[in-house]
Structure 1
Amino acid sequence: MFISRNPKRFSVSCLQLEGETHSWFCVSAFVNVDKKSKQKVKCGTRIKTRKRNIAAPLDPAAFSDAVVQIYLDNAGDLELIAKSLESADLNFSRYGDTFFEVVFTGGRTQPGTTKPDEGERHPYSIIDCEPTRELILPSVIYIQKILRRKPFLIKNLENVMRRFLQSLELFEENERKKLAIFTALAFSQKLSGLPPETVFQPLLKDNLVAKGLVLSFITDFFKEYLIDNSLDDLISILKRGKVEENLLDFFPSAKRSPEGFSEHFTKEGLVPLVEYNEKKIFEVKLKDMKSALTTQITEEVDISEVIETVKQRVKDAKLPDIEVVRILWDVIMDAVQWSGKNQQQNANAALRQVKTWATLLNTFCTNGKLELELMYKVQMQCYEDAKLMKLFPEIVRSLYEQDVLAEDTILHWFRKGTNPKGRQTFVKALESFVNWLEEAEEEE
């Protein structure tokens, strides 16, 4: 260290500490700058300068070649490959997409495509194997292990799958089948964090759907997934993928109909899926009919117009008579203006509604079986709704007086009714009315 004793300037030179390239260590006490000012420098103060962040150049090609070499060195043994990748000094956080390109296609692909890029390749990829679950399942398990050790790679897996699924036309038919099998097995094995939206939403591209590629892919997916899982599991995945409500969107426009759906999946051996879809369509039709009738009854539309609406809906939707009777009772009672806790007012309102719409009920309760179904509906509603519990005999009597229920139907329910909910209570409540019916029958 050298110190100048100039009266106008007291200078201090600092020593650079060994191993510290950007810091200096000051060893002086006071520095006189001039006569008018003084500056203190604390002894032992470390003055740090900002370090520059030197970004490493992006080199996915070198990363890809390194991963491919690991595959080749281990002859495609996925257990050994996973161990080698774990110990390798590779930047997965930067080249995650490239890693999954190597897993799926055997090497790096050109940016934004599925086409092979220059560089090393290996023959042990998902695309290179046979389209069977026995050969593809090990790759799913292998990826699962990788993701458990490096969970941040799930986003890269999503990126690559989304890109491949949006480019199905660039794959051969058997390659698309392999992707479908892999996807089904990935969900079966609950591959870490893979969201169903990643799979299903990219498929809804108009050009892919129009060519029938999506229908072929989704059919292979359904068939493979249902080998190990139930239909309820499949529906759950479809719901999370936000496609359960619009399965027909997977069909080309020429085949996009309930009949086309049933024909295609019946031919493919997926009868449970066909039955589920038919049930769903049926429920939608019932819901639409109920909504339309509720509006008409609430607005007190002329009863003849309501009857025509029901007939047209039944014809268009091919609804069974028994469902029509159930819906009619529901919408009639839903339109009652309940007053609250006043039991007599509630009774009057319900009985008034029955009397008002008795003709509607009578039009569609055309035989004893349908009349009995109506009695069961009344029984269930009175059992489930506390304010109607004591109204059961009065409602039945009113339906009888309006010629909706026949005497034989009421007696059959009383003697042989099969619905157990509240039956003992209701039988006792209806006993006096039934006795009156039997006495009248004997007099006749």
Structure 2
Amino acid sequence: MSSKERPTLGGTRIKTRKRNITVPLDPAAFADAVVQIYVDNAGDLELVAKSIVESSDLNFSRYGDTFFEVVFTGGRTQPGTIKADEGERHPYSILDCEPKREAILPSVMYIQKILRRRPFLIKNLENVIQRFLQSLELFEEDGRKKLAIFTALAFSQKLSGLPPETVFQPLLKDNLVAKGLVLLFVTDFFKDYLIDNSLDDLISILKRGKMEDNLLDFFPSSKRTAEAFSEHFSKEGLVSLVEYNEKKIFEVKLKEMKSTLTTQIAEESEISDVIETVKQHVKDAKLPDFEVVKILWDVIMDAVQWSGKNQQQNANSALRQVKTWASLLNAFCTTGKLELELIYKVQTQCYEDTKLMKLFPDIVRSLYDQDVLAEDTVLHWFQKGSNPKGRQTFVKSLEPFVKWLEEAEEEE
């Protein structure tokens, strides 16, 4: 054997390993292939979905954005625009539908089926939606409405994994907001979403989209007021949203007043200054009197320095606080109804806070002595009070004081 020859095994056949060499489709060829599936099935989305999920030749992982461009517009779009690019197109896209829920819903269900089989495509759907929303000015009015309806239906049908921030955050481009396009879009979105869902559902989506406290950001800066909000959405028939926003604003104003008063009372400001602060908040925020009375009581009692389990010290501290700030309460408990509201507030707090449970009669007596509560108010609460919290216990504990009031009245 020549030293240059290599030994071989007789009868064996050496095989070369075969490799599946696939040439990736380019975006244009991919788009044309998807368009052809639509055309071959005459736009029947059930059949189109079946063909797409069973296809092994289409590189969805690489061309997911292109796929959703075909779904929304019927073909590829030019980079950075919504203009049609060269290539085949089909007439069954979302933007070719009528701007009606029943026309767009089948496309939402179709996308849902695709995402269940190819969940990685959710990111591509986000990309395309974001791009379209940031290009609202390039759409005609009908196109913007179709996008709003699609988005509302997508959330109604809980389209697999579509996060609300994908919709709301891209909208907040200054030029889109300034032109009023964002307000028109969200108005259509709210109206369509609330057809199938409750206001609580809508608020939940807004929370997840980090917009619950920023609804005025949808308005042009010149109209970014509570009055403009109420006027616009009332005109659009979204009264429940207006009521929600007014309640939200009201709660914020109450919180602001409480914060200011807490600081003033902690710093032992002059009572006249505190009274003026309350009056200004009431005027600016149009706060109802009964809410003011409850906030005043909360702030006064929150400032008490409690001493753990020492009941006598707690009683002394609470009664000293009542005496110190009685004139503040007196300035706003101007009617029998407001005095009764104050007793109910005291009753609730004493019922819910164990360290105050036994202080109820002492606090009522102190408020009477400081002329915050009238005799008639105390007697009315004793005889007809409607707050059930601890009432039986508190009525019994107040009996000696009421008896004293009645005897004093008889002597007079």
| Structure 1 residue ranges without an equivalent (≥5) | 6-10, 23-50
Are the counterparts in 2 of residues 265 and 271 from structure 1 also a CA contact under 8 Å?
A: yes
Give 1:21 shift.
5.1
Give 1:18 shift.
2.8
Aligned equivalent of 1:149, options 117, 124, 130: 117
1:186-225 to structure 2, matched below 5 A, reads 186-225=154-193
* 1:309 and 2:277 aligned: yes
Are the counterparts in 1 of residues 203 and 212 from structure 2 also a CA contact under 8 Å?
A: yes
Q: Secondary structure at the match of 2:61?
A: coil
Aligned equivalent of 1:72, options 24, 32, 39: 39
Are the counterparts in 1 of residues 133 and 171 from structure 2 also a CA contact under 8 Å?
A: yes
1:37-436 to structure 2, matched below 5 A, reads 56=23, 59-88=26-55, 89-436=57-404
Q: CA RMSD in A?
A: 1.7
Give 1:304 shift.
1.1
The letter of the residue matching 2:51 is: S
Partner of 1:44: none
Once the two structures are superposed, residues 106-155 of structure 1 have per-residue CA deviations (whole angstroms, 9 ceiling, x without a partner) of 00011122111000000000001100000000000000000001111101
Structure 1's 435 and 208: CA in aligned 2 closer, same or farther, altered over 3 A?
A: same
Structure 1's 55 and 315: CA in aligned 2 closer, same or farther, altered over 3 A?
A: farther
Q: Secondary structure at the match of 1:195?
A: coil
Once the two structures are superposed, residues 371-402 of structure 1 have per-residue CA deviations (whole angstroms, 9 ceiling, x without a partner) of 00000000000000000000000000000000
Query: Which of these two proteins has the greater Rg computed from alpha carbons?
Result: 1
By relative contact order (CA 8 Å, sep 6+), the higher-ranking structure is 2
Structure 1's 295 and 3: CA in aligned 2 closer, same or farther, altered over 3 A?
A: farther
Q: Secondary structure at the match of 2:308?
A: coil
Once the two structures are superposed, residues 293-350 of structure 1 have per-residue CA deviations (whole angstroms, 9 ceiling, x without a partner) of 0011011111111111111111111111111101000000000000101000000000
Cα distance in 1 for residues equivalent to 2:366 and 2:13: 104
Are the counterparts in 1 of residues 216 and 225 from structure 2 also a CA contact under 8 Å?
A: yes
Give 1:19 shift.
2.8
Give 1:14 shift.
6.9
Q: Which runs of 4+ in 1 moved over 4 A?
A: 11-17, 53-58
Are the counterparts in 1 of residues 25 and 59 from structure 2 also a CA contact under 8 Å?
A: no
Q: Secondary structure at the match of 2:404?
A: helix
Are the counterparts in 2 of residues 3 and 13 from structure 1 also a CA contact under 8 Å?
A: no
The letter of the residue matching 1:87 is: E
Give 1:12 shift.
4.5
The letter of the residue matching 1:4 is: S
TM-score (norm. length: structure 1)? 0.90
User: Which structure dedicates a bigger proportion of its chain to helix?
Assistant: 2
Cα distance in 2 for residues equivalent to 1:182 and 1:265: 21
TM-score (norm. length: structure 2)? 0.96
The letter of the residue matching 2:397 is: A
The letter of the residue matching 1:272 is: S
Once the two structures are superposed, residues 77-123 of structure 1 have per-residue CA deviations (whole angstroms, 9 ceiling, x without a partner) of 00010111122221111111100000000000111221110000000
Partner of 2:15: 19
Are the counterparts in 1 of residues 101 and 149 from structure 2 also a CA contact under 8 Å?
A: yes
Percentage of matched positions with identical amino acids: 83
| Structure 2 residue ranges without an equivalent (≥5) | none
Structure 1's 61 and 367: CA in aligned 2 closer, same or farther, altered over 3 A?
A: same
Give 1:219 shift.
0.2
The letter of the residue matching 2:16 is: E
Are the counterparts in 2 of residues 293 and 331 from structure 1 also a CA contact under 8 Å?
A: yes
Once the two structures are superposed, residues 194-228 of structure 1 have per-residue CA deviations (whole angstroms, 9 ceiling, x without a partner) of 00000000001100000000000000000000000
